[in-house]
């Protein structure tokens, strides 16, 4: 009987549960999918462990295959192959080994099929190649070889492998390499380099390096750790997944608060009926069952709808860089997440309804101090009544739980502002490389390996109005007690982002980058024994970001003074030598690149931050929608429960306009309290979450402020709440007096 009588309230509750459960399910499943994407790709592709580059003609790779721990070797030819009409596109270095794409780097086919390795005119491509060129599956291109020969190639498949995450090129077949072997040999001089997969993976790399050095008699052949590159992609997915999990927890917390207050309102509306039935013999257990059945059924329907929505939007996940490594894009069903969230939501709704009955205080009302103050100030009676509707629970059959309604108003404002404040920090960081310590815009190479091959920048460049500062940077590598640290020379007044402490000012001092300091276990004031070309001790004076270099990230390394570098490298040796140019805002970059300077490298973490710009918007929109639904339900329920009070006031002379004003005041009161409490808490929470991300990334923390959202919060909240109150106000003005008074 109760279900039939209050079906609209249950439908509203089911919609709230569907919104909350769907958002939490989709976000959590997307986070898990992104955090596991790289591991799942590696599990099915047999990835390479290293790229070995001897750059020697006719190198004996069969001898390498016989080394212990080597599972597969794929050699390739160095060749200059271009695509007609696509000058920026690249073609993979052709391989004649059967291992490639079979026993190593087995491709995951996203669309189409794998090529027939006996056909020279078939090729496959990774998605980034297609995105850059505008080509599509089935298109035909023409490869131009070094001897001028032309080879048509048809793209028969779109594939994904770990190595192609770093080299996004068109992939040819073994038949292509065999057919054009002479032309490729003419260009390259023979088979030069190879990729290697080790049985023990990255753990077997040190032993392989030693065995390779003994085999070749050389220890200066470059062996690139491809497993470490894969680990970087995995770390990016972990970062983005962690942010999504944080969003999911925020959505879950907000959903629990808003759904609970809707359930409490529903249960409170049944208390008087249950009291009458208790007199007629209804047992406490039967009363509890009757109260929780409706909300439980609504919750079950809601989680089913939410699960369907989560599965429907699953192709949008994972986000960011994890999307580029996901081996099976498209629809995904994470049964663990769907079941866990469904059970949690149903239990939450059932417990909330049960506790509302157990802890009901229907006969107990309390006066609001705010309403009393408004009455003493002589405010119009409809205004005072509206404040009482918002803040006083009432008595007996007209009792309404006002605390959940207030909590809903606060949580709505808090959640939306927290989401937009967090996003403001991400927008600021994604658009400013200086947040990652990259205070320079250009770099000019001077030398490497202890020898200069380019002249230093002319002295007049430093006096150019575009130039803020130039740093003559020498780079070396020093060994500490637990790690190798690339060190950079610093000259004043070149700007550096210092997180704590200060830059070195004497030869015996060093400022460490945060990851290096963490790896070494060093803190400001510590004295570190170090070794370069000479030994010495350095006192840590600060924690600061360093330039993103060819062999280091911006959070790995350290700064020395020029004299300090000279003490550790007295023979004048340097690994790299370049100039860093910090330009003033508005400087003409084209002028400087035309002079031979290179744009500064952009850390991959900038892209990672850019990848999380959308989730806060989605979370803010979801929380706003959830708060609107909850507040609308609260206003409608309050008027329906107190319709008899309104009828009495109408009989005593209240006009319809005064009834509408009372409801509008109720909505405005809820909005004002939500703003007064939710705005400062939302800004503080958003900043706290952004600080966590800043420490995790790492980057320079600058307190974010979503000014646009803050300015709009009050007018939007007031406007939305009053729009929600409009139907309830109309209903209050039109209650049939005779029916309500007879009931009274």
Q: What is the pLDDT of residue 521?
A: 92
Confidence of residue 509 (pLDDT cuts 50, 70, 90): very high
Which among 39, 12, 478, 449 has a CA at the least distance from the CA of 263? 12
- Give the model's pLDDT for residue 363: 44
- Reported as a single tens digit per residue, the pLDDT across 236-293 is 888 889 888 988 988 888 888 778 877 877 776 666 667 677 777 878 788 778 888 8
* Residue 113, pLDDT score: 94
Calpha distance 197→215 (Å, rounded)? 17
Inform me whether the pLDDT recorded for 45 exceeds 70. Answer: yes
Residue with tokens 């629970």: 393
The per-residue pLDDT for range 89-137, each reduced to its tens digit, is: 778 767 777 777 777 888 899 999 999 988 999 999 999 889 889 999 9
Instruction: Measure CA 149 to chain center.
Output: 47
Listed residue (26, 74, 68) closest to 46, CA to CA: 74
User: Quick check: 75 and 139 in contact, CB under 8 A?
Assistant: no
Give the DSSP letter of residue 105. S
CA geometry: angle 310, 316, 318, nearest 5 deg: 100
* DSSP letter string, 29-89: HHHHHHHHHHHHHHHHH----EEEE---TT--HHHHHTSTTEEEEEEEE----EETTBTT-
Residue 187 has pLDDT above 80, yes or no: no
Q: Kindly state the tokens that stand for 305.
A: 């709808």
Q: Kindly state the percentage of the chain with pLDDT values over 70.
A: 93
Residues of the chain with pLDDT > 90, as a percent, come to: 45
| 436 has a pLDDT exceeding 70 | yes
**What does the pLDDT read at residue 397?**
53
Residue 544 has pLDDT above 80, yes or no: yes
Of 74, 57, 53, 77, the residue nearest 179 (C-alpha)? 77
Query: What are the distances in angstroms from CA 424 to CA 198, 208, 505, 612, 697?
Result: 45, 47, 36, 11, 16
Mark out the alpha helices in 269-401 (DSSP H runs). 271-279, 284-312, 335-358, 369-376, 381-391
Which residues, in sequence order, are CB contacts of 382 under 8 Å at separation 6+?
654, 658, 659, 661, 662, 665
pLDDT at 399 over 80: no
| Highest-scoring range by mean pLDDT, 248-262, 321-335, 605-619 | 321-335
**SS3 state at 680:** helix
| CB 4, CB 329: distance < 8 Å | no
Counting beta carbons within 10 angstroms of the beta carbon of residue 69, is it exposed (0 to 12), middle (13 to 18) or buried (19 or more)? middle
Distances (CA, A) of 92 to 163, 168, 194, 537: 11, 8, 13, 47
Give the pairing type, strands 122-125 and 50-53: unpaired
- Match 């107990």 to its residue by tokens: 364
Residues found in the chain: 744
Whole-number CA gyration radius for the chain: 34
- Number of alpha helices (DSSP H) and beta strands (DSSP E) in the chain: 23, 20
Q: Which of 155-169, 326-340, 374-388, 470-484 has the highest mean pLDDT?
A: 326-340
Highest mean pLDDT among 45-59, 145-159, 499-513: 499-513
pLDDT band at 743 (very low <50, low <70, confident <90, very high): low
Neighbours of 486 (CB within 10 A): 22
What distance in Å separates the CA atoms of residue 267 and residue 261, rounded to the nearest whole number? 10
Q: What is the pLDDT of residues 51-75, one digit of tens each?
A: 888 877 778 889 999 999 999 998 8
- For residue 437, which of 321, 576, 602 has the smallest C-alpha distance? 602
Query: Which residues touch 279 (CB under 8 Å, ≥6 apart)?
Result: none
128 by Cβ neighbours in 10 Å (0-12 / 13-18 / 19+) ranks as: middle
pLDDT at residue 411 is higher than 50? yes
Residue 220 pLDDT: 61
SS3 704: coil
What's residue 183's pLDDT?
Answer: 79
Quick one: pLDDT at residue 213? 86
Could you give the 3-state DSSP secondary structure of residue 123? strand
Q: How far apart are CA 693 and CA 689, in angstroms?
A: 7
Upstream peptide bond of 292 is cis (omega within 30 degrees of 0):
no
Q: Give the phi and the psi of residue 280 in degrees, each rounded to 5.
A: -85, 0
pLDDT of residue 362: 43
Q: Please give the Cα distance from 38 to 460 (Å, whole number).
A: 49
Q: What are phi and psi of 506, to 5 degrees?
A: -140, 160
pLDDT of residue 631: 77
162, pLDDT greater than 80: yes
pLDDT surpassing 70 at residue 359: no
Residue 89 burial (C-beta neighbours within 10 Å; 0-12, 13-18, 19+): buried
Greatest mean pLDDT range, 88-92, 603-607, 649-653: 603-607
- 442 falls in which pLDDT band (50, 70, 90)? very high
Neighbours of 136 (CB within 10 A): 11
What average pLDDT does range 422-445 have in this prediction?
A: 95
- Report the range of poorest mean pLDDT among 331-335, 461-465, 564-568, 645-649: 645-649
Give burial (CB, 10 Å; 0-12/13-18/19+) of 302: buried
**pLDDT-based confidence at 574, cuts 50/70/90?**
very high
Is residue 702 predicted with pLDDT exceeding 80? yes
At 361, is the pLDDT very low, low, confident or very high (cuts 50, 70, 90)? very low
pLDDT at 357: 67
Contacts (Cβ under 8 Å, ≥6 apart) of 405: 261, 265, 390, 631, 634, 638, 670
645 pLDDT band (50/70/90 cuts)?
confident
Stretch 515-521: mean pLDDT, rounded?
Answer: 91
Instruction: Tell me the domain boundaries of the chain.
Output: 1-46+231-362, 55-220, 368-398+400-437+604-744, 439-601
Beta bridge partners of 581: 442, 470
Q: Mind listing the pLDDT tens digit for each residue in 658-672?
A: 888 888 888 899 899
The tokens describing 688, both together, are 């706290």
Q: Give CA–CA dist 387/380, Å, rounded.
A: 11
Structure confidence by residue, pLDDT tens digits, 618-635:
888 888 887 887 777 777
Both structure tokens of 415: 């959640």
Instruction: Look up residue 27 and give its two tokens.
Output: 């976000």
pLDDT at position 396: 53
Q: Which two tokens stand for residue 687?
A: 């900043």
555-569 pLDDT, tens digit per residue, is 999 999 999 999 999
pLDDT greater at residue 436 or residue 656: 436
Instruction: Give the pLDDT score at 690.
Output: 94
- What CA–CA distance (Å, rounded) separates 12 from 47? 51
Average pLDDT over residues 361-379: 73
Distance CA 541, CA 524 (A): 5
């Amino acid at each position: 009987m109760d279900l039939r009588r209050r079906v609209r309230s249950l439908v509203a509750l089911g919609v709230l549960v569907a919104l909350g459960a769907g958002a939490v399910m989709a976000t959590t499943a997307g986070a898990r999918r992104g955090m596991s994407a790289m591991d799942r790709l590696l599990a099915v592709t047999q990835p390479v462990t290293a790229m070995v580059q001897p750059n020697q003609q006719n190198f004996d790779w069969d001898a390498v295959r016989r080394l212990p721990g080597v599972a597969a070797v794929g050699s390739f030819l160095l060749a200059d192959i271009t695509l007609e009409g696509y000058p920026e596109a690249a073609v993979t270095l052709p391989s004649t080994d059967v291992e490639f794409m079979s026993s190593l780097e087995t491709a995951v086919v996203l669309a189409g099929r794998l090529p027939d390795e006996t056909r020279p005119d078939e090729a496959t491509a990774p998605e980034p190649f297609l995105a850059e060129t505008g080509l599509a599956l089935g298109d035909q291109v023409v490869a131009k070889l070094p001897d001028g020969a032309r080879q048509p190639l048809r793209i028969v498949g779109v594939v994904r492998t770990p190595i192609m995450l770093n080299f996004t090129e068109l992939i040819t077949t073994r038949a292509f390499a065999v057919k054009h072997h002479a032309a490729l040999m003419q260009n390259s001089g023979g088979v030069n380099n190879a990729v290697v997969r080790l049985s023990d993976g990255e753990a077997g790399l040190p032993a392989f390096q030693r065995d390779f050095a003994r085999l070749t008699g050389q220890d200066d052949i470059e062996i690139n750790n491809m497993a470490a590159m894969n680990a970087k992609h995995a770390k990016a997915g972990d970062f983005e997944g962690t942010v999504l999990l944080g969003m999911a927890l925020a959505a879950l917390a907000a959903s629990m608060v808003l759904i609970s207050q809707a359930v409490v309102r529903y249960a409170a509306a049944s208390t008087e009926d249950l009291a009458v039935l208790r007199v007629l013999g209804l047992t406490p257990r039967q009363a509890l069952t009757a109260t929780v059945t409706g909300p439980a059924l609504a919750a079950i329907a809601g989680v089913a709808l939410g699960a369907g929505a989560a599965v429907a939007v699953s192709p949008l996940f994972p986000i960011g860089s994890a999307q580029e490594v996901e081996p099976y894009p498209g629809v995904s069903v994470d049964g663990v997440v769907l079941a866990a969230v469904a059970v949690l939501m149903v239990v939450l709704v059932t417990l909330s309804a049960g506790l509302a009955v157990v802890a009901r205080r229907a006969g107990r009302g309390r006066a609001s101090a705010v309403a009393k103050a408004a009455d003493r100030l002589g405010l119009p009676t409809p205004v005072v009544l509206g404040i009482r509707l918002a803040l006083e629970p009432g008595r007996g059959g007209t009792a309404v739980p006002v605390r959940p309604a207030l909590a809903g108003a606060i949580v709505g404002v808090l959640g939306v502002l927290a989401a937009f404040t967090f996003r403001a920090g991400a927008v600021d960081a994604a658009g400013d490389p200086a947040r990652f310590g990259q205070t320079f815009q250009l770099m000019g190479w001077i030398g490497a390996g202890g020898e200069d091959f380019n002249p230093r920048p002319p002295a007049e460049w430093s006096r150019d109005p575009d130039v803020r500062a130039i740093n003559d940077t020498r780079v070396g590598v020093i060994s500490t007690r637990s790690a190798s640290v690339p060190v950079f020379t610093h000259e004043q007044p070149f700007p550096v982002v210092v997180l704590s402490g200060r830059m070195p000012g004497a030869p015996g001092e060093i400022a460490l980058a945060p990851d290096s300091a963490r790896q070494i276990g060093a803190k400001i004031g510590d004295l570190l024994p170090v070794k370069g070309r000479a030994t010495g001790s350095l006192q840590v004076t600060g924690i600061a970001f360093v330039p993103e270099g060819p062999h280091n990230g911006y959070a790995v390394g350290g700064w020395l003074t020029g004299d300090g570098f000279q003490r550790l490298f007295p023979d004048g040796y340097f690994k790299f030598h370049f100039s860093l140019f910090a330009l003033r805002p508005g400087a003409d970059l084209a002028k400087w690149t035309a002079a031979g300077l290179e744009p500064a490298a952009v850390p991959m973490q900038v892209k990672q931050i850019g990848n999380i710009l959308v989730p806060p918007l989605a979370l803010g929109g979801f929380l706003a929608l959830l708060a609107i639904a909850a507040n609308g339900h609260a206003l409608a329920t309050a008027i329906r429960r107190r319709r008899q009070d309104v009828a009495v006031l109408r009989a005593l002379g209240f006009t319809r306009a005064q009834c509408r004003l009372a409801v509008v005041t109720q909505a405005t009161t809820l909005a004002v309290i939500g703003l007064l409490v939710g705005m400062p808490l939302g800004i503080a929470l958003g900043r706290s979450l952004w600080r966590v991300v800043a420490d995790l990334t790492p980057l320079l923390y600058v307190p974010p402020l979503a000014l646009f959202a803050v300015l709009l919060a009050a007018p939007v909240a007031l406007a939305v709440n009053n729009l929600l109150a409009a139907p309830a106000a109309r209903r209050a003005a039109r209650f049939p007096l005779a029916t309500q008074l007879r009931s009274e």
